[in-house]
Amino acid sequence: MPRRKARVVSSPTASLPPCPGPKLRPFRHQDASIKWGPRLDTARPETGSQGFVFQAEIASRQYAIKVFKFYHPKSNKFYWETYLGKSYPLRKALFYTDPFYAECRAYGRIKETRDERKVKANVATRCHGYLFLRTEDMNFLRREAGIDFDTNVIDESLKRALGGNIQVRAIVKDLETGQTGVQKHNIEHAWRNVSLLNSLGIYNRDIRADNFMNCRIVDFGLSWTEPHAILDNADVDEAREQRLGDCAQFEEMAELEGIKTTAKIPPFRYNLRPRKKTWKAA
């Protein structure tokens, strides 16, 4: 795809999301032109529910850019209302249910712990920050790649929740090359990374073979990172089950891949569905 001419725009300076907990900083090359390359997520059609992943060149370097669709909490209202209550503000619900903010929170926590030197291992694909797409890039992706950003979900309530900013959002990551999935010889390494993320209060909630590359998780669009409103408002047993969800999914993944693992995975209960109970609002 041809290079698009750069246009000077005001760069964001705030870390996101604007709520308690970890946050992700803006990508440093906000104003640089983007040379869009091939789409990378075509083997994972379920990714399309959140957005699209492209290879792209920015400032003479290759990256993977996950471009997010717009998301409205009302599409999943029954689920989060079960925990947070019907009076919970939609703007706050967005912070804990939007896949874009989920990735911001997870990668924000990973960066925090790396900066504090609590974690040295590369437990996940490296993230370089978030990016707001320029109008010409949005139009280019619509025209050349047939991308639908789900702008139809934007109503006045969502616009207010987003602070009036309805630019398409993206997250810039390293372009991973190498081995996708898990195999017998590296499944213990993959589990150590998942376990370490859990110890940091990051629960990926999407553990499956094609979410790993070089034993590192590449996508956090469904993740919960503490402090998280739903975990904070669940009762003790429910919160424990949710925190152990990655354990259940990891064992299921190993079974599906036909791999026997000796990883010390904590015991869990399989009933991970939320109970039909109204929790107090945070």
Task: Establish if 47 belongs to a structural domain.
Answer: yes
Please, are residues 225 and 102 in contact by the beta-carbon 8 Å criterion?
Answer: yes
Going from the C-alpha of 237 to that of each of 3, 5, 231, 273, 278, the distances in angstroms are 53, 54, 11, 12, 15
Please, are residues 23 and 17 in contact by the beta-carbon 8 Å criterion?
Answer: yes
CATH number of the domain that residue 118 is part of: 1.10.510
Task: Establish if 120 belongs to a structural domain.
Answer: yes
- The number of residues in the chain equals 282
Task: Enumerate the β-bridge partners of residue 217.
Answer: 124, 212
pLDDT in tens, 263-279: 667 665 444 444 333 32
Cα R_g (the chain), whole angstroms: 19
Please give the Cα distance from 182 to 215 (Å, whole number).
7
Looking at residue 247, its pLDDT comes to 93
CA angle centred on 171, ends 252 and 70, rounded to 5°: 85
Name the residue among 230, 235, 238 with its Cα closest to residue 282.
230
Please give the Cα distance from 45 to 126 (Å, whole number).
23
- Contacts with 225 (C-beta within 8 Å, 6 or more apart), sequence order: 21, 22, 102, 105, 106, 108, 109, 201, 202, 203
Task: Establish if 82 belongs to a structural domain.
Answer: yes
pLDDT in tens, 23-46: 999 999 998 999 999 999 876 655
Q: What is the dihedral sign for C-alpha 121, 124, 126, 129? A: negative
- What percentage of residues in the chain have a pLDDT greater than 90? 79
Task: Establish if 127 belongs to a structural domain.
Answer: yes
Phi, psi of 145 (to 5 degrees): -115, 0
* Number of CB atoms found within 10 A of residue 167's CB: 15
Task: Establish if 267 belongs to a structural domain.
Answer: no
Q: Pick the more confident residue, 261 or 22.
A: 22
Task: Establish if 213 belongs to a structural domain.
Answer: yes
Task: Establish if 212 belongs to a structural domain.
Answer: yes
- Res. 179 pLDDT band, cuts 50 70 90: confident
Looking at residue 59, its pLDDT comes to 96
Provide the number of structural domains found in the chain. 1
Q: Domain span at residue 148?
A: 34-256
Mean pLDDT, to the nearest integer, of 244-261?
A: 93
* Number of CB atoms found within 10 A of residue 54's CB: 22
Does residue 198 surpass a pLDDT of 90? Answer: yes
Phi, psi of 82 (to 5 degrees): -55, -35
